[in-house]
Amino acid sequence: MSEHIAGAIDSHCHLDFKQFNKDRDAVMQRARESGVVLMINSGVDFATNQRSLELAKEHDFIFATLGLSPNFPDGFSDADLNRLLKHIEENAGECIGIGEAGLDYYHCKDASGRERQARVFLKVIDLASSLGLPLVIHSRDAEAQALEMVKHLDKVVLHCYSGSLGTMKEAVDRGFYVSLATNLCHSARHQILARNVPLDHLLVETDSPFLSPRKGRNEPAFILDSLRLIARIRGIEPQEVARITSENAKRIYNIR
């Protein structure tokens, strides 16, 4: 049996999603028993922001970030956006970060759609800046563009990072944090990133229920798979990776 790892933090998950409706409590219990002490639940729209807040109120081991995925529906209006931003602002004292939010050029191919993503993202950036909270960035096939838009910020997390080593280095040089998801367990590209991210700027996440290192649905307990693999890649103990990444998460999100 693999050695026990204590004190791990899953820095990005979606426990409120419907994939967990049948066994959410059991999933959280498995995570706690596996050595995960904290889970950061990230909202992606109005409804998931609200559910993230509720989970954080119900469980002292869950913290919420409130955001807006760039993959918002076609019918998403300016009124919807203003309502969501107002909801985030009103609940800023109950969350530890703003996001996920950003750019997704993988799913959005047309120029007008990308321009709208950028306009919406700018509003979320401004909100994070005004609130003084870390911004959690979703950037897919748009990492360099997203980084360019947030260069003036102090506190940024590149969630589920999949970009280039060069963009990663530029982000780290600015003091930003790079979060690697559990898909690194079966991705040579992400393992290269894991080898090169400075440990003092590394976070780990499951992005569950997505990106499982095993078959089927992902869940926070599986963050240990990433910790063990990163440990092998970096030539240190898994417990040390857990300690470092957890300290990093607490630092950027000001968790006491």
Which pLDDT does position 74 carry in this prediction?
84
Which pLDDT does position 62 carry in this prediction?
98
What is the tens place of the pLDDT at every residue in 132-157?
999 999 999 999 999 999 999 999 99
Q: Which of the following CATH numbers is that of domain 8-253: 1.20.1640.10, 1.10.3720.10, 3.20.20.140, 3.30.9.30?
A: 3.20.20.140
Report the distance separating Cα 84 and Cα 49, nearest Å: 9
Which pLDDT does position 1 carry in this prediction?
38
Counting residues of the chain whose pLDDT is more than 70, the rounded percentage is 99
The amino acid occupying position 164 is S
Mean pLDDT, the chain, as a whole number? 97
Average pLDDT over residues 43-49: 98
Which pLDDT does position 213 carry in this prediction?
98
The domain locations on the chain are: 8-253
Which pLDDT does position 179 carry in this prediction?
98
8 Å CB contact between 63 and 40: yes
Average pLDDT over residues 175-194: 98
Q: What is the pTM of this model?
A: 0.97
Residue carrying the six token digits 């191919």: 109
Report the distance separating Cα 109 and Cα 105, nearest Å: 6
- At 2, the pLDDT band (50, 70, 90 cuts) reads low
